[in-house]
Structure 1
Amino acid sequence: MTLETHRPFIEDLYRELHANPELSNREHRTAARMAELLRERGFEVHEQVGKATGVVGILRSGEGPTVLLRADMDALPVTEAERVPYRSSVTDELDGQRTGVMHACAHDTHMASLQGALAILAEQRDWSGTIVAVFQPAEEVMQGAAGMQDALRELLPGGIDVALGQHLMPGAAGEVQTAAGPIMAASDHFIVTVRGRGGHGSQPEKTIDPIVLAASMVVRLQTIVSREVAPAERAVLTIGTFHAGVKQNIIPDSARFEINIRTFEPRVRERMIAAIERIVQGECQAAGAPPATIETGDLAPLTVNDADAAATVGAAFDAAFGAAHVPSPQYLGSEDFSYLPAVWDAPYVFWMYGGFDPELVAQARARGTFDVDVPSNHAPDFIPVLQPTLDTATTAMVAAARAFLA
């Protein structure tokens, strides 16, 4: 059987998954569907692997290396733009609010292409070794891979030889990117609670306004990257939530916001964390407010591809894609994928593939409007073209797996 034979199945599965997304740690329908398909291919299937909805499929075919192939399953609290007939109209409750749900980070392409690759590999069987297919929950909140570690250690006491994963990024469909070394940044999440003294909006002199105080912090925190991180270093600081107050004429007692930072170097990370503490507490002191509370949230490790394994995958992609295989830049996005091979201290390779109309991408780059014209991950219009996106991702997973299987 070939890719052409399985293409209708892969495309139909993608549309099904895209139209039925589920939030992190709630991937019950998705996980059941992944398990069902694995059973159809003859895999030994394990469900509820770890602390949530993880699914693992194992296929043995003689002696040889054990290769772990991973796809993530969760979607995001994003309301999808009306662009395709198979758009998501799903909604769910999150933090007390009703929100749209969308595969705005292409995990639907990850699952569909991995299932396509598994179908091809299960039928051909001209390889020796063991395939471990991992369908992981909760990547978006950086909990899923770590939550599967203990269960995977028990399930595979003999370990694995290599772990492989991929991700769709803004770029031309048909293009594949690989590189050795650091490829995705580490991520840190902090929740800041600022406490003031509430009161009537007409009498601010009797209060310590936590909104004004927190707003000062938000502005000042933006200077960390621009004024405390060297221009040669790469770092990002984003404040993604801000919550305070319930009525326009009441000054509240507190305000709360969340910070996300991305770094490649430990020393830069440490400097940014120290600066966050200094700025937040310094602003509190200046306002006569009590010290703020800074809690640590979700964390993601640096993703560092093994040099030898990356060379093996790169050679396979040269053969499979030719000039469409290009060097990967370092992305300031983050992944929890590396927690999986860390269970056995195994090497891994994580690569990227594009998902948008090549002509659109080329024109946008020529005009200098790429960041405007090509949607970014987590945007409501981050909807890849079906082809050659799915063909590319499926071919990449098959080629990479075959590069290690005997």
Structure 2
Amino acid sequence: MAQPQVQSVIDGLAGIRDDLAAFYRDLHRHPELSLQETRTAGLLARRLRDAGCDEVVEGVGTTGVVGVLRNGEGPVVMLRADFDALPVEEKTGLPYASTERGVDQDGRDVPVMHACGHDMHATCLVGAATLFARARDAWSGTLLIVFQPAEELVVGAQGMIDDGLFERFPVPGIVLGQHVGPLPAGFLAYGTGPVMAASDSLHVTLHGRGGHGSRPESTVDPVVMAAHVVTRLQGIVAREVPPAEPAVVTVGRLQAGTKDNVIPDSAELGINIRTYTPQIRDLVRTAVERVVRAESAAGGAVAEPDLTWSGAAPALVSDPAATETTVAAFAGHFGEQRIRTLPLVTASEDVGLFGEVLKVPTVFWFWGGLDPEPTVAAFLAGRVDDLPGNHSPHFAPVVEPTLSTGVEALVVAAHTWLSR
């Protein structure tokens, strides 16, 4: 049973639910790529001002939006949502499906879609901020409302921190966030300790000597080097990482040459690593560099390979004690039957940087966005891979009960840590 004070905040949801749903559909129809979210940021800032936030600032960390809702003495609680989209062509068939296009970081014209649910994240935070602003007699303290850009590039959190997020605004004692996913709508799921992986990306250029494909002896073939690198990298997790430690090494990009009978001068690889502890993270990063340099030397490269690390985010750690307290509040509001535990998630999130830099707890949970009946049936039949997941061109949360559940979860979580 929900506590009367938190319920008095949530009671206002009925009056804004339809408006929030329309706002969500608008965001979904008009997605924007990372660090280009200017329209979305303007709409979010306007919503915070209309809700009655005491302070609203745009352009934090390029396109981030920060709102401050002060309500007397008490703790400072941070609620965070991301709002960037992906270079994915939408195939949901929804009447509000995106047909937008944009220019990505490499200058390519690409389709754009909210394929990861960030539009739902942002809408739910708008809803929670509005409800808290309208029910100030039910809580006290300060809400720091953070709309973070560029999560998909894992640079948005660091960008806001570098732009003085915690020097310019109240410093929170806890960071709260959530993510919608391929679970039955109306359900929540959580983990404690490391719940999402650290992520590191490496761009590699191998240097050969090009020439005619009919005379390979006159060349130094970077394609063969690249092939050996790809194969050799697969042994790192299998032979160097302890079996009890999860890790993933993926070569997601290999590009070389322009014609079948021309051996190129260079080959490029894009490598991604997922780990959960600093020790294994260092081990895998070191091993990847060793393999790349060794295979380059073995192939007779004309120069040392170029290695550029990017897209770094630490493992997302949901503080065990704070998570236990928050989940107990969820159980009191939603009922234990709607809450599940999750295994480790090998995807990554940069929200953990906020709590890490401040040395304060982070609590992060997931909630479902798929039509409950077919989703439960797929789980029971062992056909989970048939469900559209995040980053799929077919992924779009059902508006309800996803929207209401997400708003209520943010309200319950924040209210747990505010003074009453």
TM-score, normalised to structure 1's length? 0.95
Q: Any conservation in 1 of the 2:250–2:272 contact (CA below 8 Å)?
A: yes
What residue number does 1:71 align with?
81
Aligned residue among 289, 294, 300 for 2:307? 294
Residue 195 (structure 1) shift: 0.8
What residue number does 1:367 align with?
381
Q: Provide the C-alpha distance between the structure 2 equivalents of 1:334 and 1:107, rounded to a whole number of angstroms.
A: 14
Residue 10 (structure 1) shift: 1.7
What residue number does 1:141 align with?
153
Q: Provide the C-alpha distance between the structure 2 equivalents of 1:200 and 1:22, rounded to a whole number of angstroms.
A: 44
Q: Provide the C-alpha distance between the structure 2 equivalents of 1:18 and 1:198, rounded to a whole number of angstroms.
A: 47
Runs of 4+ in 1 over 6 A off after TM superposition: none
What residue number does 1:116 align with?
127
What residue number does 1:29 align with?
39
User: Structure 1, residues 224-272: CA drift from partner, whole Å, max 9, x if none?
Assistant: 2233323322111112222222233322111111111111122222221
Residue 395 (structure 1) shift: 0.9
User: Structure 1, residues 244-301: CA drift from partner, whole Å, max 9, x if none?
Assistant: 2223332211111111111112222222122212221222222211332221111001
1:2 aligns with 2:12: yes
What residue number does 2:205 align with?
193
Residue 212 (structure 1) shift: 2.4
What residue number does 2:192 align with?
180
Identity across matched positions, percent:
49
Q: Any conservation in 1 of the 2:190–2:366 contact (CA below 8 Å)?
A: yes
Q: Provide the C-alpha distance between the structure 1 equivalents of 2:405 and 2:92, rounded to a whole number of angstroms.
A: 25
Q: Cα RMSD (Å) of the superposition?
A: 1.6
Residue identity opposite 1:258 in structure 2? G
User: Structure 1, residues 9-64: CA drift from partner, whole Å, max 9, x if none?
Assistant: 121111111111111111111111100000001111111113x1111001111111
What residue number does 2:167 align with?
154
Residue identity opposite 1:399 in structure 2? V
1:97 aligns with 2:111: no
Q: Provide the C-alpha distance between the structure 2 equivalents of 1:384 and 1:225, rounded to a whole number of angstroms.
A: 34
Q: Provide the C-alpha distance between the structure 2 equivalents of 1:292 and 1:339, rounded to a whole number of angstroms.
A: 31
5+ residue gaps, structure 2: 1-10
Q: Any conservation in 2 of the 1:152–1:343 contact (CA below 8 Å)?
A: no
Residue 353 (structure 1) shift: 0.9
Q: Provide the C-alpha distance between the structure 2 equivalents of 1:390 and 1:369, rounded to a whole number of angstroms.
A: 25
Residue 357 (structure 1) shift: 1.8
Q: Any conservation in 2 of the 1:68–1:164 contact (CA below 8 Å)?
A: yes
1:88 aligns with 2:108: no
Q: Any conservation in 2 of the 1:69–1:134 contact (CA below 8 Å)?
A: yes
Q: Provide the C-alpha distance between the structure 2 equivalents of 1:388 and 1:226, rounded to a whole number of angstroms.
A: 42
Alignment of 1:131-280 (within 5 A): 131-150=143-162, 151-156=164-169, 159-280=171-292
Alignment of 1:384-403 (within 5 A): 384-403=397-416
What residue number does 1:16 align with?
26
Q: Any conservation in 2 of the 1:153–1:343 contact (CA below 8 Å)?
A: no
User: Structure 1, residues 174-211: CA drift from partner, whole Å, max 9, x if none?
Assistant: 11112331111111111111111111223222212212
User: Structure 1, residues 286-319: CA drift from partner, whole Å, max 9, x if none?
Assistant: 2211332221111001111223321221111001
Q: Any conservation in 1 of the 2:28–2:97 contact (CA below 8 Å)?
A: yes
Residue identity opposite 1:165 in structure 2? G
Moved more, 393-402 or 382-391: 382-391
Q: Provide the C-alpha distance between the structure 2 equivalents of 1:340 and 1:245, rounded to a whole number of angstroms.
A: 42
Aligned residue among 328, 338, 341 for 2:342? 328
Residue 344 (structure 1) shift: 2.9
1:57 aligns with 2:67: yes
Q: Provide the C-alpha distance between the structure 1 equivalents of 2:325 and 2:92, rounded to a whole number of angstroms.
A: 41
TM-score, normalised to structure 2's length? 0.92
Residue identity opposite 1:274 in structure 2? T
Q: Provide the C-alpha distance between the structure 2 equivalents of 1:265 and 1:61, rounded to a whole number of angstroms.
A: 39
| Count of residue pairs brought into register by the alignment | 403
1:350 aligns with 2:369: no
Where 2:17 maps in the other structure, the secondary structure is helix
Residue 343 (structure 1) shift: 4.2
Where 2:94 maps in the other structure, the secondary structure is coil
Q: Any conservation in 2 of the 1:187–1:300 contact (CA below 8 Å)?
A: yes
Q: Provide the C-alpha distance between the structure 2 equivalents of 1:228 and 1:255, rounded to a whole number of angstroms.
A: 26
Q: Provide the C-alpha distance between the structure 1 equivalents of 2:173 and 2:300, rounded to a whole number of angstroms.
A: 57
Q: Any conservation in 1 of the 2:33–2:85 contact (CA below 8 Å)?
A: yes
Q: Provide the C-alpha distance between the structure 1 equivalents of 2:88 and 2:261, rounded to a whole number of angstroms.
A: 31
Residue 214 (structure 1) shift: 0.8
User: Structure 1, residues 320-351: CA drift from partner, whole Å, max 9, x if none?
Assistant: 21110122322111111122233432222111
Q: Provide the C-alpha distance between the structure 1 equivalents of 2:80 and 2:366, rounded to a whole number of angstroms.
A: 13
User: Structure 1, residues 356-400: CA drift from partner, whole Å, max 9, x if none?
Assistant: 1222222222332212x1122212112222221111111100110
Residue identity opposite 1:204 in structure 2? P
